[in-house]
Amino acid sequence: MTTIEREEARQRTILQLEKAGIVLTAEEKANVEVADMGLGELAVSGLQLITYVNSERYCAKDLVLFPRQTCPEHRHPPLGADNPGKQETFRCRAGRVLLYVEGPATAAPRAKPPAGSEAYYTVFHEIELNPGEQYTIPPNTLHWFQAGDEGAVVSEFSSMSRDESDIFTDPRILRDAGL
């Protein structure tokens, strides 16, 4: 991903947050992250985010997904005897997000994994989140999510986030790529 593409995605993210009524400071705008996961296909795989706080006790972020953009399947594993892994609650603020977690597969899932990456998507229990709806994902649970046609803004409230510890089903993914 080029510097220009990254900056365009960052600006587009800021506009999407503003449209959702989320006000960012100048410092927060400068710290918007663009995660293309090392796949070089941000339009279909990746996400944009701003982290407000990430401490030993808790984490708060806003995740932005462009139309039909997918955050690839992953889990937040245990990090020692006293840490079962990250637990996170997603609350949809704008748009629609289709979240897939472990459990009985939905008969006709509405989201589709990105073309060419289908083998790396293994959970299909569908949860639809619209503005004001939320869902809590337990630690070490495989999950992935995709925005609807208008994109989505999702607030994430969780235990401490350690992105470098996330385990992706797709071995090609580099979580820190381009941050």
One digit per residue, the tens of pLDDT, for the chain of length 179 reads 899 999 999 999 999 999 999 999 999 999 999 999 999 999 999 999 999 999 999 999 999 999 999 999 999 999 888 899 999 999 999 999 999 999 999 999 999 999 999 999 999 999 999 999 999 999 999 999 999 999 999 999 999 998 889 999 999 998 664 44
Q: Provide the CB-side half-sphere exposure for 63 (13 A, CA).
A: 25
Give the per-residue pLDDT at 178: 43
Task: Write down the H helix ranges in the chain.
Answer: 3-19, 26-30
Domains and CATH numbers, the chain: 3-168 (2.60.120.10)
Residue 48 near residue 9, CB atoms below 8 Å: yes
Give the per-residue pLDDT at 58: 94
Instruction: Quote the pTM value.
Output: 0.94
